[in-house]
Homo-oligomer: A and B are copies of this chain.
Amino acid sequence: MIDYSSPSLVSVEEMNAFIGGAFGGNQNACEVMSFAMAVAVMYPSVASLRPGKIISGPTVFSICDAALFYAALSATGMEPMTLTSEMSIRFLRPARGEVIRARATLNSIGTRSIVGSVVAYTDDESKPVAVAQGTYARPKKNPAQ
């Protein structure tokens, strides 16, 4: 059972310092971290917009992926080699707005993989632009260490 009221094992500041250093071209930031939950935020560049100023599907995917990564680390501590193994996304309405956020909540935390669900939204969280679910593969323990 996941205790969503526990504190995050990684702070927002630690998370942003990590991604700023490691991911030079990263366009999003971590905004909220609590245990097994995180919010990612992005101000899309012009290159991320489609005709009609709609935020592109891959951009929406990227913010969902980031939020799930943050949520995973909130529950495991900093494991930078945690990698997405799979994700599915459903686009619900055109993503219009100056800013996009994604809220990820973990559904299970295993020794090998972590599963979570994500809701992406622009102005109004009650009108999500996409929902996603995905799995992170945790790094293999090295028995020699």
Q: A86-B86, A86-B91, A91-B85 are in contact. Are A47 and B61 (CB under 8 A)?
A: no
Tell me the bound Cα distance from A65 to B59 in angstroms.
11
- How many copies, total? 4
Task: Find chain B residues with CB under 8 A from A24 CB.
Answer: 46-47
- The answer to whether A117 and B117 have CB atoms under 8 Å apart is yes
Tell me which residues across on chain B come within 8 A of A124, comparing CB atoms. Answer: 1
> Could you tell me if B1 and A126 are in contact, using CB atoms closer than 8 angstroms?
yes
Chain A residues near B (Cβ < 8 Å): 1-2, 22-27, 45-51, 56-59, 61-62, 65, 80, 83-93, 107-108, 110, 112-113, 115, 117, 119, 124, 126-128, 131-133, 135, 137, 140, 143
